[in-house]
Amino acid sequence: MYRGFSLRRAAQTDAMFLGDMLVEAANWRAGGVRPRHEVLTSAEHRRYLAGWKRSADDGLVATGEDDVPVGAAWYRVLPQNAPGFGFVGVAVPELIIGVHPLWRARGVGRTLLRGVVELAGSQGHSRISLSVERDNFARNLYRAEGFVVVGQGSARDTMVRATT
């Protein structure tokens, strides 16, 4: 089936685009306008990308025509003393995903999600986690793809799924 996009492994040189997608994730709410530099330097978000690509980092980039990146999903193993929103345990990687606004609702996100879960499994991770604000529709996508809620904050859920 022609989908208009394909996936490739994320490289060190994708840091700039991953930064764009991190900003999309941080600004997911309609009207979200946190400036790029503010997101990428904030303590809560910079940990998902600073120093990319570390040895335990991995991910996928979706590309459209002419190999232009249109979305990305990646994971990072964060330490217990500096955990992410979706920390569930030492050595469990945490997922980040974003799709360029013009490419949403075309299957890119679901395809990236499936691919990155498989990638994590192939790299020896038995589980992968994420954090999502409860009113983000992405939560439904994660549930449909097998993620289950394992923790609840005031506005966020932590979700986990096995990679196999």
Ligand X SMILES: CC(C)(COP(=O)(O)OP(=O)(O)OC[C@H]1O[C@@H](n2cnc3c(N)ncnc32)[C@H](O)[C@@H]1OP(=O)(O)O)[C@@H](O)C(=O)NCCC(=O)NCCS
DSSP assignment, residue 65?
G
Neighbour tally for 100: CB within 10 Å? 18
User: Which residue has the closest beta carbon to ligand X?
Assistant: 109
DSSP assignment, residue 4?
S
Residue 93 — φ and ψ, nearest 5°? -70, 150
Alpha helices in 59-164 (DSSP H): 108-122, 138-144
Answer yes or no whether residue 49 interacts with ligand X by CB under 6 A.
no
Element spanning 148, H or E: strand 148-152
- Give me 93's structure tokens: 């990687």
Nearer to ligand X, 82 or 105 (CB): 105
Answer yes or no whether residue 99 interacts with ligand X by CB under 6 A.
yes
Contact pick of 77, 83, 114, 136 for ligand X (by CB under 6 A): 136
Closest separation between CB of residue 63 and ligand X, Å?
14
Answer yes or no whether residue 117 interacts with ligand X by CB under 6 A.
no
Contact pick of 15, 56, 77, 138 for ligand X (by CB under 6 A): 138
Contact pick of 5, 109, 128, 129 for ligand X (by CB under 6 A): 109
Half-sphere exposure of 112 (CA within 13 A, CB side): 32
DSSP assignment, residue 92?
-
Nearer to ligand X, 121 or 156 (CB): 156
Answer yes or no whether residue 28 interacts with ligand X by CB under 6 A.
yes
Contact pick of 110, 122, 148, 153 for ligand X (by CB under 6 A): 110
Interacting residues with ligand X (CB under 6 A): 24-25, 28, 97-99, 104-110, 132, 136-138, 141
